[in-house]
Amino acid sequence: MNGQAASNGDSASPDFIRIENLSKHFDDFVAVDSVSLSIARGELFSILGGSGCGKTTLLRMLAGFEVPTTGRIFIDGIDVTDLPPYERPVNMMFQSYAIFPHMTVESNIGYGLRKDRLPKSEIGSRVDQMLELVKLNDFRHRKPDQLSGGQRQRVALARALIKRPKVLLLDEPLAALDRKLREHTQFELMAIQDRLKITFIVVTHDQEEAMTLSTRIAVMEQGRFEQVGTPKQVYEYPCNRFVADFIGTINTFESRVVGCTDGVIEVESAEAGSHLHALTDKPIASGDSVSIALRPEKIFISQERPDAAEDTCLHGIVEDLGYFGNLSLYRIRLSTGKIVQVSAQNRRRSAERFLEWNDEVWISWQRQSAVVLTE
Amino acid sequence: MKRRSAFVLSALAFGYAFLYVPLASVIFYSFNDSRLATVWGGFSTRWYGELWGNDQVLDAAFLSLRIAVTSATLATVLGTLAGLALVRVTRFRGRTLFSAMITSPLVMPEVITGLSLLLLFVSLQQLVGWPAQRGFSTITIAHTTFSMAYVAVVVRSRLAAMDQSLEEAAMDLGGRPLRVLVDITLPLIYPAMLAGWLLAFTLSLDDLVIASFVSGPGSNTLPMYIFSKVKLGVTPDINALASLVILFVSAGVLLAWLVTRRGPGQPGRT
């Protein structure tokens, strides 16, 4: 085995986990379709996708519960593809938490060490450490059915961490918690990850969760990765329409390229009713059809026509508006009939609305805010 | 509160009367002092005392108990294994067929089961010389085969309701499959196994038809003894015996119900 040599001190290696052409077929259904990926040590990597996109199957292959149809998995230089779950340096936190109902909190957490036949005293002290880490000291003798959802989540986390796995897999770790608790737990999870330096792989359908938690995100659809990148890359530079749509909200204008100079393209869009500009480094020629995409928060809204020459500027009326406290969401109808979503922070404190239904407004944006999507 | 209609109440009363009046009358007449089983002659417990002195009854009862305990235990082991195979072993060829086949003894007429087992035992005896004599072992085997199906059904439904990620979690934490079975699966399904055992026990204790087919000379189970006595006319001591059987069986059923209701990991503990 060449594993030992690779594992020593080489913490910057981007190939701590390496997945090569991994596929999983269930009869005729292709759940995971020839996926390749490298994850560095200590990353908090998220696999994001809708239900049925194959993200859980991928996670289960990493844990050893599913046998890949083709492809290999390497963890810290060792080929683990054919190892059973109980021999992998990987632990998993299940979506249902899977806490053993007939054991106390303490024996749940200690289970993994007992299977490794560690001396009793060491098991005891490490269970204590874990209880400390997840702040469940007072609950150690409780049975799982006497715990709240958040406490069960922490038991599951402690139980999965106690063996100090090289990789922790988390299947929808926060899905079962309510909103307030979810936000809190998110940061707790990040703090724990930072402290223990264990590589986390999180599967989630919640794009907000993926954005805040992760160092990198893989957006998955129909068994393939659409895009892999940092939260910023994925949000600000989506590589295609699916990613742009899946992460956050986005307005798109179907357009045809009329000119291209020095990375600035000029397009003609029937939907926008005018010429638009955008920056791109993609190879694009006149006559290509592209989509110009804009995030709602990148668009400014005003009652007077803004005068900056660099900006794109369109006229419309307020079709609908929603007040969310910290921000307001507007749906603006352009003269072409196209609806554009715009969000604006409510900076001023006022009981009156800044805009009303059917008000005439101008929307504008800087040309570098626009994303060019070629598919 | 809503008033219940008279119709619903009387239907309920009639239904229960239909079920329990015959049983109640057996118990009632078991305390009859008269020698005639259906004529009231005052309260007495003498028939219970007489049972105690009757060796034939005691032998039959003891044989029945031995068969019931042995076959229930065997049925629980085999039925649990069958249930595990049907639920936990991932898709094997013919799994649906096996699932359906495991329940067939439940609907098969007892006469057919009894007859087929008798034919099996007779041909086995001719082929390999075993079983030389039909009795305890043949009845036990016969009872095991059909009550195993009941255990498998009970265990299967319990397993199907159990979150499979519990077993996966144990495996993920380093438990080998056999350890996981002992650590996680069995503790969680044991109420179903116990209920299955009690069910198999009562079924074996009740059975007359199959036992009649596969028993040999000199080996009478309690139901067989009662049935043969009744053919000569109902005597009060049979009433007493029947009352004891009723008591025994209902205790078993009650226990089975309590066990399934109060298993670990079941929500709704009071």
**What confidence tens digit (pLDDT) does each residue in B80-138 have?**
999 998 888 766 777 788 888 888 888 889 999 999 999 999 999 999 988 888 889 99
Q: How far is A90 from chain B (nearest CA, A)?
A: 8
Q: Which two tokens stand for residue B31?
A: 């305390």
Mean of the per-residue pLDDT values for chain A? 89
Could A92 and B187 be called an inter-chain contact, meaning their C-beta atoms sit closer than 8 Å? no
**Number of Cβ atoms within 10 Å of the Cβ of A351:** 4
One-letter amino acid of B35 = R
Residue listed under structure tokens 């305990």: B69
Interface ipTM above 0.90: no
Please state, in angstroms and rounded to a whole number, the distance separating the CA atoms of residues A1 and A75: 12
Among A42-51, A55-64, A122-131, A256-265, which stretch is predicted with the lowest mean pLDDT?
A: A256-265
Please state, in angstroms and rounded to a whole number, the distance separating the CA atoms of residues B233 and B246: 20
Q: What is the pLDDT of residue A2?
A: 39
Please state, in angstroms and rounded to a whole number, the distance separating the CA atoms of residues A134 and A114: 20
Q: How far is CA B263 from CA A100, B171, B193, B247, in A?
A: 14, 23, 11, 24
Could A85 and B171 be called an inter-chain contact, meaning their C-beta atoms sit closer than 8 Å? yes
Please state, in angstroms and rounded to a whole number, the distance separating the CA atoms of residues A178 and A164: 28
Chain A residue with minimum CA distance to B179: A115
Among A210-214, A268-272, B128-132, which stretch is predicted with the lowest mean pLDDT?
A: B128-132
Which of A84, A86, A101 faces B265 most closely, judged by CB atoms? A101
Could B165 and A98 be called an inter-chain contact, meaning their C-beta atoms sit closer than 8 Å? yes
Please state, in angstroms and rounded to a whole number, the distance separating the CA atoms of residues A25 and B130: 51
Q: Which two tokens stand for residue A167?
A: 């990789």
Q: What is the pLDDT of residue A120?
A: 94
Residue A261 — very low, low, confident or very high, per pLDDT cuts 50/70/90?
A: confident
Nearest to B151 by CA among B82, B202, B94, B100: B82
Contacts of B165 in chain A (CB under 8 A): 94-96, 98
- To the nearest 5 percent, what fractions of chain B are helix, strand and coil? 75, 0, 25
**Number of Cβ atoms within 10 Å of the Cβ of B82:** 21
Could A102 and B187 be called an inter-chain contact, meaning their C-beta atoms sit closer than 8 Å? yes
User: Which residue of B88, B166, B172 is the best one to mutate when testing the A interface, meaning the one whose CB has the most A CBs within 10 A?
Assistant: B172
Nearest to B172 by CA among A128, A367, A168: A168
Residues comprising chain A, all counted: 375
Contacts of A118 in chain B (CB under 8 A): none
The dihedral sign for the CA sequence A277, A282, A283, A287:
negative
Could B174 and A86 be called an inter-chain contact, meaning their C-beta atoms sit closer than 8 Å? yes
B170 touching chain A per CB within 8 A: yes
The dihedral sign for the CA sequence A79, A85, A88, A90:
positive
* All residues at 6 or more sequence positions from A12 whose CB lies less than 8 Å from its CB, including other chains: A40, A41
User: Domains, chain A, ranges and CATH?
Assistant: 3-245 (3.40.50.300), 250-373 (2.40.50.100)
Name the A residues in 20-79 with CB < 8 Å from any B CB: 63-65
Residue B2 — very low, low, confident or very high, per pLDDT cuts 50/70/90?
A: low
pLDDT in tens, B95-107: 788 888 888 888 8
What counts of helices (H) and strands (E) characterise chain B? 13, 0
Contacts of A90 in chain B (CB under 8 A): 172
Q: Is residue A7's pLDDT more than 70?
A: no
Chain B residue with minimum CA distance to A83: B172
DSSP designation for A11: T
DSSP designation for A356: -
A210-238 average pLDDT score: 94
pLDDT in tens, A108-141: 999 999 999 999 999 999 999 999 999 999 999 9
* Phi and psi angles of residue B264, each rounded to the nearest 5 degrees, phi first: -75, 155
Please state, in angstroms and rounded to a whole number, the distance separating the CA atoms of residues A100 and B171: 12
Beta bridge partners of A266: A259, A277
Contacts of B163 in chain A (CB under 8 A): 96, 98
B169 touching chain A per CB within 8 A: yes
Q: Which SS3 state, helix, strand or coil, does residue A216 take?
A: strand
Q: What is the pLDDT of residue B269?
A: 35
Could B174 and A90 be called an inter-chain contact, meaning their C-beta atoms sit closer than 8 Å? no
B265 touching chain A per CB within 8 A: yes
**Number of Cβ atoms within 10 Å of the Cβ of B50:** 15
Helix (H) or strand (E) holding A165: none
The domains of chain B are located at: 25-261
Q: Is residue A12's pLDDT more than 70?
A: no
CB B68 within 8 A of CB B201: yes
Q: Which two tokens stand for residue B95?
A: 């799994």
B178 touching chain A per CB within 8 A: no
Q: How far is CA B142 from CA A286, B195, B210, B254, in A?
A: 85, 20, 7, 25
Which of B171, B172, B265 faces A102 most closely, judged by CB atoms? B265
A152 touching chain B per CB within 8 A: no
Strands A371-373 and A289-294: antiparallel
Q: What proportion of chain A, given as a percentage, has pLDDT over 90?
A: 62
Among A9-18, A202-211, A351-360, B253-262, which stretch is predicted with the lowest mean pLDDT?
A: A9-18
Q: What proportion of chain A, given as a percentage, has pLDDT over 70?
A: 96
**Number of Cβ atoms within 10 Å of the Cβ of B266:** 14
Which of A94, A115, A145 faces B174 most closely, judged by CB atoms? A115
Q: What is the pLDDT of residue A230?
A: 95
Residue A311 — very low, low, confident or very high, per pLDDT cuts 50/70/90?
A: confident
Residue A35 sits at the vertex; the CA angle it makes with A33 and A38, to the nearest 5 degrees, is 170
CATH fold label, B25-261: MetI-like fold (1.10.3720)
Please state, in angstroms and rounded to a whole number, the distance separating the CA atoms of residues B15 and A24: 57
